[in-house]
Amino acid sequence: MSVRFPTIQNLRINQYVPNRTPCRKMRVNEATLQETFRNIKILLRTDMMLANFTDRMLLKNLGHWLGMITIGQEQPILSKYLDLKSLSVEAFWKGQQELIYVVPFTAKVFESCANNKIFHANCPWTLNILGVLREIHEQEGLKLNLKFEIEVLYRHLKIELEAIKVGTVLRCPHMIHMCMTEPQLGGSSEFDPRCVTLLEGTMYLDSPLSFGLEMETQEVVVAPGEPPPPPPLLTKTGNYELILLSIKMSRIKVENELDFLMKPKNGT
């Protein structure tokens, strides 16, 4: 049976957060939590390339609901049910369309950290996720609406954006390995570490990027009156080589998965 959660605009959601004290309601709360996770995973595995606005809003509302019945009730979100850090990294590597789903969802979850006694803004677990969002925020070419979602979260938590140091989690070999072996997103573009992301390359062909990206150029003579040649292509080898080098330096044994991705799909 599929459960459709109503939108926050039509629901006084605060009245539906169960009390944590009675044992009977604790069992109801656990069942509600598991059903929430189930519906979130269904939405995360849908085809995100279809750009379904209804699914995006439903996922965003579920993020707000999840934050209220977990963080808002001073209960952690266990990674065995939903790994928000890995989810954000996977969305970054898969592209802009995946980020449109994941970033607003994650931001809504962590709105419940405001005025929280345990998962406050200085909590290491909270800072870990905020650091990943800050790193995404600083990426060149990121859509303005995604930047806005992150900035709104920081203002809601009363944190200056510059107060969080920009890290390197998005390019951590261990996180990349986790995204390859334990993906949480489905129905979208296949994850391939050889390829630059939509965020880093394929949507911005006018300039080469620093992360192992090169421009393939040719000198073409255009006769008067003829149309101009197509723009130069982006090579995808540099990005893969840089990731593979980082993985080897970190001694993470994922060469088999990477070598498998290097094989042509047609078997030639």
**Residue 187 in domain:** no
Give the domain CATH number at 119. Answer: 1.25.40.180
Whether residue 151 is found in the same domain as residue 254? no
Whether residue 52 is found in the same domain as residue 92? yes
Tell me how crowded residue 174 is: count the other CB atoms within 10 A of its CB: 13
Tell me what the pLDDT averaged over the chain comes to.
71
Helix 124-137 to helix 144-156 angle, to the nearest 10 degrees? 150
CA torsion through residues 79, 83, 85, 86, sign:
positive
Cα(125)–Cα(109) distance, rounded to whole angstroms? 13
Owning domain of residue 31: 8-171
pLDDT tens by residue, 185-237:
875 555 554 444 433 433 333 333 333 333 344 444 556 666 655 544 333 34
Residues 106, 120 contacting (CB under 8 angstroms) = no
134 versus 212: the higher-pLDDT residue is 134
Whether residue 137 is found in the same domain as residue 257? no
Tell me how crowded residue 80 is: count the other CB atoms within 10 A of its CB: 6
**Residue 224 in domain:** no
pLDDT bin (cut points 50, 70, 90) of residue 140 is confident
pLDDT bin (cut points 50, 70, 90) of residue 47 is confident
**Residue 55 in domain:** yes
Tell me how crowded residue 153 is: count the other CB atoms within 10 A of its CB: 25
**Residue 267 in domain:** no
Cα(234)–Cα(231) distance, rounded to whole angstroms? 10
pLDDT of residue 100: 92
What pTM was computed for the model?
Answer: 0.65
For tokens 């140091």, the residue is 165
Beta bridge partners of 214: 235
